[in-house]
Structure 1
Amino acid sequence: MSEPKTPTPTPAGDTYKGWVFKWTNYIKGYQRRWFVLSNGLLSYYRTQAEMGHTCRGTINLATATITVDDACNFVISNGGAQTYHLKASCEVERQRWITALELAKAKAARMQAESDDSGDDFSPSSPPAAPGQGGSSQNSEVQSALRTLGSKVEDLSTCNDLISKHGSALQRSLSELDSLRLTGEAGDKIRQVTERATLFRITSNAMINACRDFLALAQAHSKRWQKALQAERDQRVRLEETLEQLAKQHNNLERAFRGAGQSNTATDSKSSSGPGKGEASDEDDDNEFFDAMEEAPEFITVPADPQLHKRSSSNVSGFNSEICADDQSLNEEPLAMNQESPSQELVPLKKRRTRIPDKPNYSLNLWSIMKNCIGKELSKIPMPVNFNEPISMLQRLSEDLEYHELLDKAGKCQSTLEQMCYVAAFSVSSYSTTVHRTGKPFNPLLGETFELDRRRESGYRSLCEQVSHHPPAAAHHVISDRGWTLRQEITVASKFRGKYLSIMPLGTIHAVFEKGNNHYTWKKVTTTVHNIIVGKLWIDQSGEIDVVNHTTGDRCHLKFAPYSYFSRDVARKVTGVVMDKDGKAHYVLSGTWDEKMEFSRVMQSSRGGENGTEGKQKTVYQTLKAREVWRKNPILDGAESMYFFTALALTLNEPEEGMAPTDSRRRPDQRLMEDGRWEEANAEKQRLEEKQRIARREREREAVSQRTSSQSEEGESALHDNYRALWFDRCEDKITGEQVHIYKGGYWENKDRGNWEGCPDIF
């Protein structure tokens, strides 16, 4: 048996654990279980190894009763719903558990009573310091020390109460024995015990009085410390305000000094250069600068000095005209295409659907399904279609092309650094479709495909294929007539953590442009689904992306800030810097992944002062006026009843002529769910999954039969690797060195011929 190092139990709030025998039933009797007492909760596990993932039961001691049966047995109950009949290995061990449980129960009851009170127990007059304020870490350390001291004093007071309670009970028991008037040796022993108990009670009373004095002294000093802490915080705020005013004055003086040598013509041109360069611009400049300083970001952007505008007017004007030319050419491109091929005007484009059947209102207890799945891989959890959306993961991958025009614009850029801005914005835009999409896509069957032919409307063709089942992996290839190719192989790793679900896409995305042969790569960030069990589901994206141009060495570092309730910054914020191969910054990107992105030309950069909590220096970028590079399409009317699908997503599951028999649009369970027939869809989903398992077992049997005794090791690995994708070849990527699937061609040619003989029967 694992026992605590000291005979006295640990205070409530610390962990007290050990082996205890628990009554199970009349057949098995008492079974040895691992019990853990922590923060007023008593939990048990079959083994210590289960502590990380599977709890067998928990009782809240705040509302529980603790009774003692005999020397080793005791009972814990919370009013009939849960009752644990426990037995310790010996009487001493049972007494240790009883003492620890009573102490934890008293503290849990006190904490519950305090939580019901609407007031702030600690210090209403001293709110926590705002993030980014100087000295906030010191304040939090002092407050943490005060809270710890208050908690320990409360534990001491609880121990005093327990000593007084048990001492009185002991005195009563001894008095009852003394009233029996036993004679001889037994009477002498009782009198000796009574005398020792009296001495113990006198000593305990002295300790209780000393503890009460200490408690009063600690409480008095605690109030003084809180007042001193608040005074220090107020002084810190006043100093920061003074420094802010000094910095503003210093900035204005520098501006006035630079402008003193300018001619009247330069002054006139400055004042007539439009909004953003006058006095109002200066005021915005200060506000923006110090707001950024207060939030302590990785870098700071400020409007470039007017003198820098003039100094680089020729380069800047060329840059702006280049952008305008690109935008104008893109806007005029559909007209130019129609002029080049007037025959297309005679063939109207296909009218695609704008609605799908409304989502039925079915209720289902998610916890009843997922409570035993904590810590497991999401792809291995059998989930009903009630939590899905009528779309497959292959179709969800194709939704990355919602804003394909960003790649069209990137393909026309003269500057690779400007092209990097569009590619970075495209990498962010793919997350905008997830902000309200809390449904789970269908896991594709092995060999399932999805084609998206938008060559006439948008100039591209897309093909996805599920190339692996465990781990699930999908290969995606897009070719555009407008000068770019996109390919990716995504493996989704996911874990259910109880309160939230983490989805980690693994794999690299490649974008290659014909003009200049620029080859870009990047990876996806982590998606987190919160409030899985209780509350309204919401999605967050967090992490960092490095977009790299392997042709030129240019790089863009994007940071997705995780949502924080205490942050004063805008939610879902994304920031980034575009740098050349030498590390020099050329553009700054900012925005949110659910709304828009902007980019600004960097005119000058410098190292700022120590603004972070760790004393790190921040880089200050002086930039030109920001330009919007991407904005999210508005939400459709009635999107709430259509799974919050976008206009593109509504068309993805629309039947097409001539598609492959393995296409996701032909999947029966997904089609039944879209039509609102969820019970039939669940039955069909189970049939398809069982059919896939049978096919996998058949492949494994074939792999075993092909093995020889000299190839046992290779055959063992072939059990899982004998499947070969139909439209993609497995090879090593020359850029990343990863094992990936590359499109080998033939799909669109077979579609034109209507030849699908090689496609497997998966539906």
Structure 2
Amino acid sequence: MSVPQICVLILGAVMSEPKTPTPTPAGDTYKGWVFKWTNYIKGYQRRWFVLSNGLLSYYRTQAEMGHTCRGTINLATATITVDDACNFVISNGGAQTYHLKASCEVERQRWITALELAKAKAARMQAESGGGSQNSEVQSALRTLGSKVEDLSTCNDLISKHGSALQRSLSELDSLRLTGEAGDKIRQVTERATLFRITSNAMINACRDFLTLAQAHSKRWQKALQAEREQRVRLEETLEQLAKQHNHLERAFRGAAQANATTDNKSSTGPGKGEASDEDDDNEFFDAMEEAPEFITVPEPLAMNQESPSELVPLKKRRTRIPDKPNYSLNLWSIMKNCIGKELSKIPMPVNFNEPISMLQRLSEDLEYHELLDKAAKCQSSLEQMCYVAAFSVSSYSTTVHRTGKPFNPLLGETYELDRRRESGYRSLCEQVSHHPPAAAHHVISDRGWTLRQEITVASKFRGKYLSIMPLGTIHAIFEKSNNHYTWKKVTTTVHNIIVGKLWIDQSGEIDVVNHTTGDRCHLKFAPYSYFSRDVARKVTGVVMDKDGKAHYVLSGTWDEKMEFSRVMQSSRGGENGTEGKQKTVYQTLKAREVWRRNPLPEGAETMYYFTALALSLNEQEEGVAPTDSRRRPDQRLMEDGRWEEANAEKQRLEEKQRSARREREREAANQHAPHDTYKALWFERCEDPITGEQVHIYRGGYWEAKERGSWEGCADIF
């Protein structure tokens, strides 16, 4: 990418040179010598600048004006900003940016006023000449497209007609029963003719689909264009009025100053008066208002009119640091040598191996990249929407790359809310709904058109050298506008070097993201790390297919860095065999587009458990949350504060309290002759999932209403 040209212009004269004439207007033209920055070797170079008809141009000398212009900026689309007392910048947002510097504030203001007036006038003329045609631009483009598609249809009919005739002729040749090389050639030509006709038909159909889509959205485009034009005209009128007012005030100030100077000198014909007269002549170009109003009304932006009062409340500032992790050493082998093959949830682990958040908060971290679902909700194509959903399913693993600490096992009935409705449009609620096996239910509702729900049961095994964590359960994403319903499962997480060496984490396995509404599917593969592999580490690949198995997009990237997707134009079976003797499929795609990239870690993250910016805010104290919220866990709070010994003692107390509550429920069940524990979740209801047929917990509602009332009578005393 080429670096945009940066020009620095200095108005006026340099002290060592003869005085440069003041820039002078001539009708709608404003001229003057300036100094332009060329490069770091030559520095500033003297140039002649001309402002005329809304264009700012410069030349090496005045003599060049007739034949060689060195550069021009159209002020109608340019921005003019002030840096300091003498500096200002003109840029068209592209490759042209002029940095200007005047010899004094007065001279700078003359140029600013001239440029602003010229810009306003040019923009208004452009709007008047082009605004009336904006409403018809889309229809005109559609008519042109329609005409071209009709031409293509005519060509298609001719191709079909001549193609059929060609195939009949080839069939007649084939009926001659020619053998040998001639027969093979005729069959080859027949096949190519058939493929050519099929390809031509596909091209015509694609063009017709494009025209239909453009027609469907033309009215919305016209409304958007009209709204933008009206707002631009209002702003331009305001800007012109401000520029004229400023010029009027400046002239009034200079006139008052001259009057005072004349009185002091007891003279009405001295040099001061003559200079003032010259300055007044210079300012005639600006067409200043004779009677400027004392103030003007700036129209309020449309977006502000649409905001609700609650959205105008300042957002809460989230914390960006937690206490550094203490450097406590502990013999891991002494704890885990007798636990090989056991469930991780049944191993009595001290907080030394934890991170100061619970599993419910860790589950809420799946929303780190909720923007992907926001974008998916806006997609018109279900296949493109699938790409964003698949990228979201990958993004949740990016927070794990350095996170070797174990989250706290939630207590039965523990909850965690993540209310980001004002900042990001969503509300999230998790509840620990089962203890054996440990299961957490999660429900997220977004104002931006999507719902996410899941129930995750984590099965884990310690294998001696490594630890395998297998999340069980299905994740659901439902989009309100399209009614598309997606499901997928998580892959296996492996923690290596449990006993000896530096801990590191890998993700491996396969994910099938399925759209149950359309039948579309995306198959993702997480390649396990291999020392001997030539592929990039943590690689993820995927293919988006429709219900008929036709590939439309290819995804590629890594689960810790970024994902890209490419549109498939053609696919074919390759000659090289893949795994298990299967033939590889070769995809011909368009240029890849980035769909997701990992956010950088906060400064000092290595001393804060490698938490992301979102993770740092998860355990922050917050008013009004349920008494069962993870933020209120005393052992977790003590650990975050670095008081690990107290945290371990508190952890044992809470676990014993939980065991006592379970024994009490079992006695009640026995008295009632119930077959098992009768525990029921508070905010989630156990039922059969209508999509997967699994027994799951689905949000029954009521939590956010209880929070508004401040009524938590149903919450158990678990802490």
Shorter-chain TM-score tier = 0.5 to 0.7
Indicate if the aligned counterparts of 2:358 and 2:630 stay in contact, CA closer than 8 A.
yes
| Shift, 1:610, TM fit | 2.7
Q: Return the alpha-carbon distance in structure 2 between the equivalents of residues 26 and 732 of structure 1.
A: 72
Contact 1:13 1:40 in 2 (8 A): no
Pick which of 436-445 and 25-34 moved more.
25-34
What is the CA deviation profile of residues 222-258 of structure 1, one whole-angstrom value per residue up to 9, with x for unaligned ones? 9999999999999999999999999999999999999
Cα distance change, pair 644–726 in 1 and its aligned pair in 2 (3 A): same
Aligned residues of 1:512 and 1:520 also touching (Cα < 8 A): yes
Change (3 A) 1:42 1:355: same
Indicate conservation of the 8 Å contact 1:270/1:277, yes or no: no
Alpha-carbon distance, 1:481 to partner: 0.2
C-alpha change, 1:458 and 1:102, in structure 2 (3 Å) is closer
CA distance in 2, matches of 1:600, 1:202: 24
- Give the equivalent residue in structure 1 for 2:11: none
Residue pair 1:19, 1:35 contacting (<8 A) in 2 also: yes
Q: CA deviation at 1:27?
A: 95
* Residue 180 (structure 1) shift: 109
Q: Is the 2:665–2:677 contact (alpha carbons within 8 Å) kept by the matching residues of 1? A: no
Q: Distance in 2 between matches of 1:606 and 1:257?
A: 78
Does residue 71 of the first structure (1) align with residue 85 of the second (2)?
Answer: yes
Q: Deviations over 1:63-90 (max 9, x none)?
A: 9999999999999999999999999999
Distance 1:62 1:465, change over 3 A: same
Q: Which runs of 5+ in 1 are unaligned?
A: 115-132, 303-332, 704-714
How far 1:616 sits from its partner (Å)?
2.6
Residue 141 of structure 1 aligns to a residue in which SS? helix
Q: CA 1:239–1:366 in 2, change beyond 3 Å: closer, same or farther?
A: farther
Please state how far the C-alpha of 1:516 moved relative to its aligned partner: 1.3
In the superposition, relative to structure 1, how do residues 74 and 654 fare at CA in structure 2: closer, same or farther (>3 Å)?
A: closer
Instruction: Name the CA distance, whole Å, in 1 between partners of 2:63 and 2:666.
Output: 33
Deviation by residue 1:255-286 (Cα, 9 ceiling, x = unmatched): 99999999999999999999999999999999
Secondary structure of the 2:652 match is: helix
Structure 2 unaligned blocks of 5 or more: 1-14
CA distance in 2: counterparts of 1:562 and 1:290, whole angstroms: 71
Alignment partners' CA distance in 2, 1:178 and 1:541 = 57
Q: Is the 8 A contact 1:595 1:632 kept in 2?
A: yes
Does the 8 A contact of 2:258 with 2:273 survive in 1? no
What is the SS of the residue equivalent to 1:553?
Answer: coil
Contact kept in structure 2, 1:289 and 1:300, CA below 8 Å: no
Contact 1:528–1:541 under 8 Å retained in 2: yes
Q: Which residue of the partner structure matches residue 31 of structure 2?
A: 17
Q: Secondary structure at the match of 1:194?
A: helix
1:378/1:495 contact within 8 Å kept: yes
Q: Which string of whole-angstrom CA distances, capped at 9 and with x for unpartnered residues, describes residues 3-30 of structure 1?
A: 9999999999999999999999999999
User: How far is 1:611 from its partner?
Assistant: 3.3
Deviation at 1:617, TM superposition (A): 1.3
Label 1:292 to 1:463 Cα distance change in 2 as closer, same or farther (>3 A): farther
Cα offset, 1:482, TM superposition: 0.2
1:574 is displaced (CA, Å) by: 0.2
Q: Are 1:603 and 1:622, in contact at CA under 8 Å, matched by a contact in 2?
A: yes
Deviates most, 395-404 or 138-147: 138-147
TM-score (norm 2): 0.58
| Distance change (3 Å), C-alpha of 1:148 and 1:600 | closer
SS at match of 2:519: coil
Q: CA deviation at 1:720?
A: 4.0
What is the alpha-carbon distance in structure 1 between the residues aligned to residue 444 and residue 203 of structure 2? 79
**SS of residue matched to 2:674:** helix
**Most deviating of 417-426 and 197-206:** 197-206
Q: Residue 560 of structure 1 contacts residue 572 of structure 1 at CA under 8 Å; is this kept in 2?
A: yes
In 1, Cα distance between equivalents of 2:518 and 2:180: 103
Q: Quick one: distance in 2 between partners of 1:684 and 1:63?
A: 65
CA separation of 1:74/1:557 partners in 2, compared to 1, >3 Å: closer, same or farther? closer
- Conserved 8 A contact 1:270-1:278: no
Q: Is the 8 A contact 2:339 2:462 kept in 1?
A: yes
Aligned CA distance change for structure 1 residues 97 and 358 (closer, same or farther; 3 Å): same
Deviates more, 1:602-611 or 1:406-415: 602-611
Residues 138, 218 of structure 2: 8 Å contact kept:
no
Moved more, 592-601 or 45-54: 45-54
Does structure 2 conserve the Cα–Cα contact (< 8 Å) formed by 1:293 and 1:300?
no
Quick check: 1:700–1:719 contact (8 Å CA) kept in 2?
no
How far did residue 515 of structure 1 move?
1.2
Assess if the C-alpha contact under 8 Å between 2:145 and 2:211 holds in 1: no
Query: CA 1:427 to 1:701, structure 2 compared with 1: closer, same or farther past 3 Å?
Result: same
455 and 259 in structure 1: CA distance in 2 versus 1, 3 angstrom threshold: same
Cα distance in 2 between the residues matched to 1:263 and 1:30: 39
**What secondary structure sits across from 1:239 in the alignment?**
helix
Q: CA distance change for structure 1 residues 685 and 47 in 2, over 3 Å: closer, same or farther? A: farther
8 Å contact 2:358–2:408 — kept in the other structure?
A: yes
Q: Displacement, 1:612? A: 3.2
TM-score, scaled to structure 1: 0.54
8 Å Cα contact 1:40/1:61 also seen in 2: yes
- Three-state SS of the structure 2 residue aligned to 1:515 is coil
500 and 54 in structure 1: CA distance in 2 versus 1, 3 angstrom threshold: farther
* Matched-pair contact (CA < 8 Å) for 2:146–2:211: no
Identity over aligned residues, as a percent? Answer: 94
The structure-2 alpha-carbon separation of the partners of 1:477 and 1:30, relative to structure 1 and needing over 3 Å to count, comes to same
Tell me the CA shift for residue 458 of structure 1: 0.1
Could you report, residue by residue, the CA deviation over 1:189-242 in whole angstroms, capped at 9, with x for unpaired residues? 999999999999999999999999999999999999999999999999999999
Mapped contact 2:54–2:119 kept (Cα < 8 A): yes
Counterpart-to-counterpart distance in 2, 1:407 and 1:633: 16
Distance 1:702 1:425, change over 3 A: same
* TM-superposed deviation, 1:341: 2.9
Matched, 1:515 2:529: no
Q: Partner of 1:261: helix, strand, or coil?
A: helix
Counterpart-to-counterpart distance in 1, 2:276 and 2:87: 79
SS at 1:299's partner residue? coil
Change (3 A) 1:430 1:153: closer
Offset of 1:721 from its aligned partner?
3.9
Task: Name the SS of the counterpart of 1:461 in structure 2.
Answer: strand
Contact 2:24 2:31 in 1 (8 A): no
Shift, 1:667, TM fit: 0.3
Q: Relative to 1, partners in 2 of residues 1:13 and 1:485: Cα closer, same or farther, differing over 3 Å?
A: farther
Deviations 1:113-149, CA, capped at 9 Å, x for gaps:
99xxxxxxxxxxxxxxxxxx99999999999999999
Superposed CA deviations along residues 677-715 of structure 1, whole A, max 9, x for unmatched, are: 000000000000000000000000000xxxxxxxxxxx9
Cα shift at 1:347:
1.5
Q: Is the 8 A contact 1:289 1:301 kept in 2?
A: no
8 Å CA contact 2:36, 2:45 repeated in 1? yes
Q: How has the CA–CA distance of structure 1 residues 361 and 341 changed in structure 2, closer, same or farther, with 3 Å as cutoff?
A: same
Q: What residue is the counterpart of 1:258 in the other structure? A: 254
Contact 2:512–2:523 (CA under 8 A) maintained in structure 1: yes
In the TM superposition, residue 536 of structure 1 has moved relative to its aligned partner by 0.2
| Matched-pair contact (CA < 8 Å) for 1:65–1:78 | yes
Residues 4 and 18 in structure 1, CA contact (< 8 A), matched pair in contact too: no
Change (3 A) 1:289 1:646: farther
- Contact between 1:2 and 1:19, CA under 8 Å: does it hold in 2? no
Aligned in 2, Cα 1:635/1:489: closer, same or farther, shift over 3 Å?
same
CA separation in 2, counterparts of 1:295 and 1:563?
77
Cα pair distance change 1:507/1:187, threshold 3 Å: closer
Cα 1:372–1:341 shift into 2, 3 Å: same
Change (3 A) 1:675 1:99: same
State whether residues 292 and 300 of structure 1, in contact with CA within 8 Å, keep that contact through their aligned partners in structure 2: no
SS in 2 for 1:479: strand
User: Aligned partners of 2:337, 2:66: CA distance in 1, in Å?
Assistant: 14
Note closer, same or farther for the CA distance 1:269–1:578 as it changes in structure 2 (3 Å cut): farther
SS at match of 2:654: helix
The CA deviation at 1:635 is: 1.5
- Contact 1:558–1:577 (CA under 8 A) maintained in structure 2: yes
3-state SS of the aligned residue for 1:528? strand
One of 440, 451, 454 as aligned partner of 1:485: 451
C-alpha distance in 1, partners of 2:195/2:402?
70
